[in-house]
Chains A and B, each alone.
Chain A
Amino acid sequence: AAGVIQSPRHLIKEKRETATLKCYPIPRHDTVYWYQQGPGQDPQFLISFYEKMQSDKGSIPDRFSAQQFSDYHSELNMSSLELGDSALYFCASSSGLAGGYEQYFGPGTRLTVT
């Protein structure tokens, strides 16, 4: 069965650069969630989208922005990168907000900021 696809899987950037992470949800899933997992930490919710509209917002820095496109894929844009942004970024998808109790995760994008 098709799963959540994230690209790239690994990304190395320097401080103050920008990065764009992409997430392709499971087919027919219309809700996307972004989580950040720092080293040795639990995943922290960043932001979610339902039907191309932001549905909820967590601890996402102002330097980050995200959107969901008409094909339901989502992109997380990160600017003025800092060393502390180095983390594993997970995207999850679900079928509708009501179906969000079962979120299916992608393999993650490991971002390293040097």
Chain B
Amino acid sequence: DQQVKQNSPSLSVQEGRISILNCDYTNSMFDYFLWYKKYPAEGPTFLISISSIKDKNEDGRFTVFLNKSAKHLSLHIVPSQPGDSAVYFCAASSPSGTYKYIFGTGTRLKVLA
């Protein structure tokens, strides 16, 4: 039972345009969400987070939006750059006392020059 889903396994975007990566979750108890970027042969790199008390968090070119009623979050990258090409995972955590994250299956983003 996949509690965190990324339904698009891959996405191609032209350099300079907006990349939108989507993530859906099923557990309404999740209260903290992360986006990670992963290059081949490297560990996931923390990108941006959002708490369930917010609906938007912005950090430079990266913005995460959270729609709690729809159990949906999205990552916007503007403008997209070739160096953004990587696999992006969203992860969710519930208030269990420890932050054992549950990951989505990942979306491979390719930014075309």
Q: Are A48 and B89 in contact (CB under 8 A)?
A: no
| 20 residue pairs from A and B, CB less than 8 Å apart | A33-B99, A33-B101, A42-B103, A42-B104, A42-B105, A43-B44, A43-B103, A55-B98, A56-B97, A56-B98, A94-B99, A97-B97, A100-B98, A102-B49, A103-B101, A105-B44, A107-B41, A107-B42, A108-B41, A108-B42
Residue A78 is within 8 A (CB to CB) of chain B in the complex: no
Which B residues are closer than 8 A to A by beta carbons? 4, 32, 34, 36, 41-46, 49, 51, 89, 93, 96-106
Residue A4 is within 8 A (CB to CB) of chain B in the complex: yes
Residue A50 is within 8 A (CB to CB) of chain B in the complex: yes
8 A Cβ contacts from A33-65 to B: 33, 35, 41-45, 48, 50, 55-56, 58
Chain A residue with the shortest CB-CB distance to B32: A101
Q: Are B103 and A103 in contact (CB under 8 A)?
A: no
Q: Are B89 and A105 in contact (CB under 8 A)?
A: no
Q: Are A105 and B103 in contact (CB under 8 A)?
A: no
